[in-house]
């Protein structure tokens, strides 16, 4: 196997990158200025040395605690619970939320052997007890696993006295009723908002 095939093989492991796309990327890198490959290689090499999990919220960071956890201008009473570290990035880009985050590290999925004990739920309870958090927003995907996890957390968090809410689910903005699936439509009916 030559160097090009090995590179294609490595790229194929990335999510959403099939053999054809991997080939196109590899040839692009070959055709491009060699400094590009060098820079990309350096970043990859240093990635895991530089980036770690934040010991407070569990998201990826170069400093510990992360920039969000150590930002005094953010609302410390408001906690947004997400499945994965990349969800923090998505929500931050929306610039809607001004509290802090908590990364669960997954969702409850009994069929895949993922129970609540594998998620950062103990740490979540500790943060709520210690840090005077008044509201928890569950920003979990509207899937079976997301629903299961949200229900479980709601039950667990009842005794702590915090307000627990979940992101609204319904028709996407700019979407069309005609293309909405049955479940989304049903949710948007149940979650209808008085005008």
In which residue are the tokens 């930002």 written? 71
Residue span binding a second copy (CB under 8 A) among the ranges 12-20, 107-115, 121-129, 186-194: 12-20
Residues 53-92 that bind a second copy (CB under 8 A): 60-62, 84-86, 89
Q: Which residues pair with 101 in a beta bridge?
A: 80
Q: Is 17 exposed, middle or buried (0-12, 13-18, 19+ CB in 10 A)?
A: middle
Q: Say whether residue 112 binds a second copy (CB under 8 A).
A: no
Residue span binding a second copy (CB under 8 A) among the ranges 29-37, 110-118, 166-174, 176-184: 29-37
- Three-state SS at 103: strand
Residue span binding a second copy (CB under 8 A) among the ranges 2-10, 75-83, 155-163, 185-193: 2-10
Query: Would you say 86 or 186 has its CB closer to a second copy?
Result: 86
In which residue are the tokens 């996407």 written? 172
Name the region of 95 (left: φ>0; alpha: ψ -120 to 50; beta: rest): left
Total number of residues binding a second copy (CB under 8 A)?
A: 44
Kindly state the smallest distance separating residue 59's Cβ from a second copy, in Å.
10
């Amino acid at each position: 196997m030559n160097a090009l095939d090995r590179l294609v093989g490595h790229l194929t492991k990335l999510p959403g990158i099939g053999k054809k796309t991997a080939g196109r990327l590899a040839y692009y890198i070959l055709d491009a200025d060699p400094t590009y490959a060098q820079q990309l290689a350096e970043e990859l090499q240093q990635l895991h040395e530089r980036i770690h999990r934040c010991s407070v919220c569990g998201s990826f960071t170069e400093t510990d605690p992360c920039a969000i956890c150590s930002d005094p201008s953010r609302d410390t009473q408001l906690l947004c619970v997400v499945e994965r570290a990349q969800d923090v990035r998505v929500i931050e880009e929306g610039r809607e939320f001004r509290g802090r985050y908590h990364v669960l590290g997954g969702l409850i999925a009994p069929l895949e052997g993922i129970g609540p004990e594998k998620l950062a739920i103990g740490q979540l309870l500790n943060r709520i007890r210690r840090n005077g958090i008044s509201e928890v927003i569950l920003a979990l995907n509207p899937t079976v696993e997301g629903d299961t996890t949200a229900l479980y957390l709601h039950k667990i968090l009842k005794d702590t006295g915090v307000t627990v809410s979940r992101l609204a689910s319904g028709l996407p903005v700019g979407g069309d009723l005609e293309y909405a699936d049955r479940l989304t439509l049903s949710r948007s009916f149940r979650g209808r908002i008085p005008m």
